[in-house]
Amino acid sequence: MSSRIAFLKGHGTENDFVIVPDPDNVIDLPAAAVAALCDRRAGIGGDGLLHVVRSAAHPEARAMAAEAEWFMDYRNGDGSTVEMCGNGVRVFARYLQHAGLVTEGDLAVATRGGVKTVHIAKATADGGPAAGEITVGMGRAVLPDGDVTVTVGERTWPARNVNMGNPHAVAFVEDLAHAGDLYTRPPFHPASAYPHGVNVEFVADRGPGHVAMRVHERGVGETRSCGTGACAVAVAAARRDGADPAVTGTPATYTVDVLGGRLLITERPDGEIEMTGPAVIVAEGEIDSDWLENAVR
């Protein structure tokens, strides 16, 4: 480990990440190191960490190297690994563009949830709503069978079980305040529905094709945004509203307001889901490796 480690800080709709470029996969980042870096008081602070590695250099991504040069080795703020992070993919792509490793247009990013297609929109002089935004192909949703409920205090709601490469329980509520503080994961039933934990989304309607959500992410707590969660919410809303694209033959598009901004989710009749939103690099600097080594002892 060198005496200094380069890092950047970025966010997508205020879902924020520590970014560690490491093309050759030579930096040791155990769970304790990730947790120390993501600590908001003693570290840099972030909902998670984006470890930027060439696919050919990482054992979990070598099989995808022919399709995608770069692998998003994503970790939650507690250091645990996760299959996929939609906001993280956008910020990951923005970093690659920022570093001059890719240009505007299409690229592929390898993740533990498979290879994701990404489109970086061209920045325009008029600063239109899509100027410079990033669209990610999020794949297809899986809707496991079985009834699920989530509970906050004395209230219990039915929840739609949606898997976007990671598991989600989507509950529609009258008021987002009913979700409580979301520092801890709301209880769900049955426990067997999510043996490895779950992201829980609470959703309130704002108008036709327009919803707002709050989310508890497993391994993190409440976050300002969750990309896979927004996709799960749109899928659940389309089924609730009788707008399943596989049935209607037309795309279903939902505007999803998160605490940190707004995402646009479209599910096509073939089941493919696209998410569009902003991604921003806000800072870059160096980590003192001596501090990091001491932080994980």
- Residue 231 annotated in active site: no
Of 148, 169, 226, 243, the catalytic one is 226
In the chain, DSSP finds a helix count (H) and a strand count (E) of 5, 18
Angle at 158 between CA 154 and CA 163, to 5 degrees: 125
Q: Does 166 belong to an annotated binding site?
A: yes
Check the annotation: does 139 bind a ligand: no
Q: How far apart are CA 90 and CA 95, in angstroms?
A: 9
Residue 227 counted as an annotated binding residue: yes
Q: Is 293 annotated as a binding residue?
A: no
Expressed in angstroms, the distance from the first to the final Cα of the chain is 16
The CA distance from 218 to 199, in Å, is 5
The annotation status of 76 as a binding-site residue, yes or no, is: yes
Distance CA 267, CA 252 (A): 5
Question: Is 87 known as a binding-site position?
Answer: yes
Nearest of 115, 118, 111, 114 to residue 136 by alpha carbon: 118
Q: Which of 8, 20, 38, 85 is catalytic?
A: 85
85 is catalytic: yes
CA distance 242 to 250: 12
15 has binding-site annotation = yes
221 is in an annotated binding site: no
218 among annotated binding-site residues:
yes
* β-bridge mates for residue 81, sequence order: 75
Half-sphere exposure of 87 (CA within 13 A, CB side): 32
25 is in an annotated binding site: no
Catalytically active residues are: 85, 226
Annotated binding-site residue numbers: 15, 76, 86-87, 166, 199, 217-218, 227-228
Annotated binding-site residue numbers for substrate: 15, 76, 86-87, 166, 199, 217-218, 227-228
